[in-house]
Amino acid sequence: MPTYQFACNDCASDYEIFLMRMLRDSDRVCPSCGSTNVRQAYRDFFGYTASRSKSGSAAGHSGGGCGTGGFR
């Protein structure tokens, strides 16, 4: 089930929406204050906000997967 995470720019509330469909503009309403001035928050697996660098990759992650070293 898709989970969408948001942060309200007016009251600083963080919240999640669980939907069985695609996200709509009418879903972007803060449940705490009713504001539509919200932004989608991208969080990693542990719930921390993933900061993005100018290249678009998440900053602060060392990577690890394919091509980062090798078997000899």
pLDDT in tens, 21-67: 888 999 999 999 999 999 998 866 655 555 444 444 444 445 555 55
Q: Is residue 68 part of a domain?
A: no
4, burial (CB in 10 Å: exposed 0-12, middle 13-18, buried 19+): middle
Q: Is residue 22 part of a domain?
A: yes
Q: Is residue 7 part of a domain?
A: yes
Does residue 8 have a pLDDT over 90? yes
Q: Is residue 57 part of a domain?
A: no
Q: Are 12 and 37 in contact (CB under 8 A)?
A: no
Q: Is residue 71 part of a domain?
A: no
**Which structural domain range is residue 21 located in?**
3-40
Q: How far apart are CA 46 and CA 28, in angstroms?
A: 23
- Overall number of domains in the chain: 1
pLDDT of residue 72: 55
| Both structure tokens of 66 | 């394919």
pLDDT band at 3 (very low <50, low <70, confident <90, very high): confident
Q: Is residue 66 part of a domain?
A: no
Q: Is residue 50 part of a domain?
A: no
4 Ramachandran zone, left/alpha/beta (phi>0; psi -120 to 50): beta
pLDDT of residue 42: 81
Task: Tell me the pairing of strands 14-18 and 38-40.
Answer: unpaired
